[in-house]
Amino acid sequence: MFKSIKSKVVIIVGSVVFLLVISQLVMNILFARNFYVFKKSMMFNSVFDDLSKSYQTSVDDIKTKLNTYEERYNLRFIIANESFYRLYNTRQPQNFKVVPPTTDIKPQLQKKELDINIENEIQEKLLLKSKDFFNEHPKVIKHNTGYAPGESLALYGIINKNNQKIYVLIETPLAAIQENITTMNEMTVYISVVVLLFGSIAVYFMASKMTEPIKQISAIAKNISKLDFSQKVDYKYDDEIGGLANDINIMSNQLERFITELNEKNRQLTASLQYKDKVDKMRKEFVSNVSHELKTPLALLMGYSEMLKSDIEGIDKSFYYDVIIDESSKMNELVKSLLELSELENNISQLKYENIDLAELAGWIFTKHEILFKNNNINTECQMEQNCIVSADSYKLEQAIKNYLINAINHTAANGKIIISCKNTGNYVLFSVFNEGEPIPENIIDKIWDSFYKVDEARTRTKGNGLGLYIVKTIIKAHGGSCGVQNKENGVEFWFELPAEH
């Protein structure tokens, strides 16, 4: 029920205030009366000392002081001479007078100068009851003086002046003290209830304000546990909570950075593993493809060679020799392509850059292959622009152009057309070869650049070994260029572009 910090703070502070109130009431009940008596006793002694010093002054001066003490401290005074006849009584202050020591008071009392009842009261109370309490060293005692109902606090003292004794009684009812204490306790209870009520409300709002940033920190910590680092603790005070908020923000930033780095490392690792798997798959495919490409010519070579060795009558030896020469030539081309590919992939041979007019180089290669175009009944068109200068290795670039042309010849039917073009587009020089024929299916258009890939899924041996386009891609990439293919109306266009030299 009280799991929240706010509830605990309110309960703790409220309990402390309540205990303080109870403690104050208990202290008042147990010790207030004694403390009040102690303070009154000290005040009685102070008043008595003041009266002792002022006794030789005028009657009016003494009377003024007595009146002041009576009104200020709620005291009662009875003063008598050494014959225990009253000189002053708080009940009849108007009759106060200083009587000379040699004066006989009693005859004056008999002449009704004072009220006979007062005289009898004084003689009875002072002479009969209080005589034994008076002392030259004033003392304060609690007893029933008879002048007020209930117990009183009284001082009995003797003032010696000119060898004459003046008896002084100072008293105040203890009932008044108890009444003051009771009133004070009631007032304390009322004030405490008000303080407790408003204090609890104030503590509640203070606790709410204090726990709000803690709730915010808790919510953000939960978000951090869910790897959400978008929110930060907004707390601007330089205290313990501010320090915690700052630490949470620092932790959030560091975790975000670490997790970002970890994700990047994981991405790189995943890409590396995928690349490794791809390379491994390509290696297996490469070995399988090479084995396939070599198996057939080797089988033909072995078969025809054994038949020639057996010298079987009636065989066409000239045909056998032509087959052996043709298959050997194909194997030689395959091995040369593999060596070239290995050199390009592993940077065994360094590219020898020089400024080349790509249009002139392409035109010369095109001219060399005119006999192939004629033998296959292929129509040609050459579109070359001026100033197509690039920085490249002429030998490698010749291989790329030748592979494009051979690929076009292999996929162009009789009476079809091949168009080669070269133009300067500003920042690049674009070379393209278009051949009429069937378009490349869209689902395999990206695969034709892989090694040993053939559009002919039957992998017939009449149209190359599947390395030509892969070699083109490798050469152009090594030169910092790009290559591609797109299906067009009635045919397919292969292209590559290289940075132009100005």
**Maximum average pLDDT range among 198-202, 327-331, 392-396:** 392-396
Task: Please give the CATH superfamily to which domain 5-180 belongs.
Answer: PAS domain (3.30.450.20)
Q: Is the pLDDT of residue 348 over 70?
A: no
Q: What pLDDT was estimated at residue 115?
A: 45
Residue 117 pLDDT > 50, yes or no?
A: no
Note the pLDDT of residue 368: 87
96: left (phi over 0), alpha (psi -120 to 50) or beta: beta
- Residue, of 251 and 433, whose pLDDT is higher: 433
Instruction: Spell out the long-range contacts of 400-405 with Cβ–Cβ below 8 A and sequence spacing 24 or more.
Output: 400/471, 400/472, 400/475, 400/476, 400/496, 401/361, 401/362, 401/365, 401/431, 402/365, 402/369, 403/468, 403/469, 403/471, 403/472, 404/433, 404/472, 404/494, 404/496, 405/365, 405/366, 405/369, 405/433
Higher-confidence residue of 128 and 301: namely: 301
Of 153-157, 187-191, 344-348, 434-438, least confident by mean pLDDT is 344-348
The more confident residue out of 61 and 260 is 260
Q: Report pLDDT for 300.
A: 74
- Give this prediction's pTM: 0.43
Q: Which two tokens stand for residue 17?
A: 């205030």
Output b/e per residue, 161-198; b: 16+ Cβ within 10 A.
eeeebbbbbbbbbbeebeeebeeeeeeeeeebeeeeee
pLDDT, tens digit (0-9, with 9 covering 90-100), for 415-472: 999 999 999 998 999 999 999 988 988 888 888 887 666 655 444 444 555 678 888 8
Q: Give domain limits for the chain.
A: 5-180, 350-499
Annotation: CATH topology of 350-499: Heat Shock Protein 90 (3.30.565)
DSSP 449: G
